[in-house]
Amino acid sequence: MPGSLLAPPAADHSADQLGIADDLITLLGDTTTEPRPDTQLTALTLAVAADLPVLLWGEPGIGKTAALNQLAASLDLPLTTVIASVHEPSDFSGLPVVGDDPAVQGVPMAPPDWAVRLVRAGRGLLFLDELSTAPPAVQAALLRLVLERRVGALRLPPGVRIVAAANPRSSAADGWELSAPLANRFVHLHWTYDHEVVVRGLGGTWPEASLPRLAPDRLAGAVDFARRAVCGFLTARPGFVHRLPRSEPQKGGAWPSPRSWEMTLRLIAFATAAGTSREVLSLLVRGTIGDGPGLELLASLDRMDLPDPETLLADPTGVELPERGDLRQAVLDGVVEAVRKRPERSRWDAAWTLLGRVLETGAPDLVVVPATTLATLRQDDWDVPSSIDRLADVVSLSTRVDKVASRVAAVAGSGR
């Protein structure tokens, strides 16, 4: 047919369609970013800025690899991905290369090509993927890489950051528990997805991954605060200096050791200098020393910022009180304890004034126990302050409620 003479050859037609398909793929990959609060992404970038190895835990397909690609692009760092499970131990410890005279020169350990490329670039993001599918021998070879940044005879430059990803053993292909020595070298972040972030990202806009803004004038104070926080906590809780979990799964997570406490100190300093939120700091601290020690440390950090009881007793009307109820309770307990240690009329009166301030802010339940304790500290020659009248009704009402609750409990316990 005459029209068939105008048809392009089949091969050319296929090549043209593949080119169009590539254009479509390029358009699909053309996304942008926007500033958006994201707690786990902020925690990741802060740990990366602190030059600490991070391990992202999450189910397959949840976006760990995509987050790393986006992080590398945002920070303008070349990304080098190494699938740990498909490598031999020698790929990390180095391959022995026999020279002309090994008895004199020794046998150097040749590094893999990806390590050489990182050294040449001087900077980059090393992504160790599928860490939980790496067998124990490979995990052992990774110890020196993660801690000392050495691969064979090469040392990775300071501009290289290390981030790893792993699936829980239950969802990993031929998964292994992470060894305790390797796990203790990471900041563990449990990666989850946010529905709104995913939907907006599929629409073409993902959260922006940016390094925290460190205030130069806060660096020295941040270091001092971090050291006081960690050292003060470990002085009070020496059992948390080193606590290796008993179960194998827990050994493969975050747990306290001198190494992880050093990492925690660094993270607190960075978070303080950057003015990071409590939620972000909580993720980082619990991801480094574990949930139990981490939560106790966070509670002690809150108390470090509380006003000194002596300052409150010296000026009970002028010092600002914390907003959170648990912190106010701690302040009142500290004031009553200070009066108990040095009972003086003026200090006793000041404590009552402070309790009155708390009552005025609408938190009557917080003053019941401190008021009861403070009343027992009164000496015979001390007049009852006028402010106690406002507290008397609250304390007596609380006592009546407690008695009613006790009677109800007793009746319920007797089965009547």
| pLDDT tens readout for residues 353-385 | 888 888 877 677 788 888 888 888 888 888 877
Q: What is the pLDDT of residue 400?
A: 42
Q: How far apart are CA 416 and CA 404, in angstroms?
A: 16
Residue 413 has pLDDT above 90, yes or no: no
Q: What is the pLDDT of residue 359?
A: 80
Mean pLDDT, residues 384-391 taken together: 68
Q: Cα dist. 133→126, 169, 191, 253 in Å?
A: 18, 8, 18, 15
Q: What is the pLDDT of residue 398?
A: 43
Q: What is the pLDDT of residue 12?
A: 61
Q: What is the pLDDT of residue 9?
A: 58
Q: Is 411 exposed, middle or buried, given 0-12, 13-18 or 19+ CB atoms closer than 10 A?
A: exposed
> How confident is the model over 122-159, as pLDDT tens digits?
999 999 998 988 888 999 989 989 988 988 888 999 99
The sign of the dihedral angle between the CA atoms of 224, 226, 231, 236 is positive
Mean pLDDT, residues 94-115 taken together: 70
Q: How far apart are CA 233 and CA 240, in angstroms?
A: 9
Q: Is 261 exposed, middle or buried, given 0-12, 13-18 or 19+ CB atoms closer than 10 A?
A: buried
> How confident is the model over 7-66, as pLDDT tens digits?
555 556 676 888 899 999 999 888 888 888 889 999 999 999 999 999 999 888 888 888
Per-residue pLDDT band at 4 (split at 50, 70, 90): low
pTM of the model: 0.76
Residue 416 has pLDDT above 70, yes or no: no
**Strand 187-190 versus strand 150-151 pairing type:** unpaired
Q: How far apart are CA 109 and CA 112, in angstroms?
A: 10
Q: Yes or no: say if 364 and 394 are a contact pair by the CB < 8 Å rule.
A: yes
Smallest Cα–Cα separation from 131: which of 116, 149, 145? 145
Residue 214 has pLDDT above 60, yes or no: yes
Mean pLDDT, residues 165-177 taken together: 73
Averaging pLDDT over each range in 154-163, 281-290, 328-337, which range is the top one? 281-290
Q: What is the pLDDT of residue 321?
A: 83
Q: Between these two residues, 388 and 73, which has the higher pLDDT value?
A: 73
Least confident window among 254-263, 268-277, 392-401: 392-401
- Angle formed by the axes of helices 368-376 and 325-341, to 10°? 0
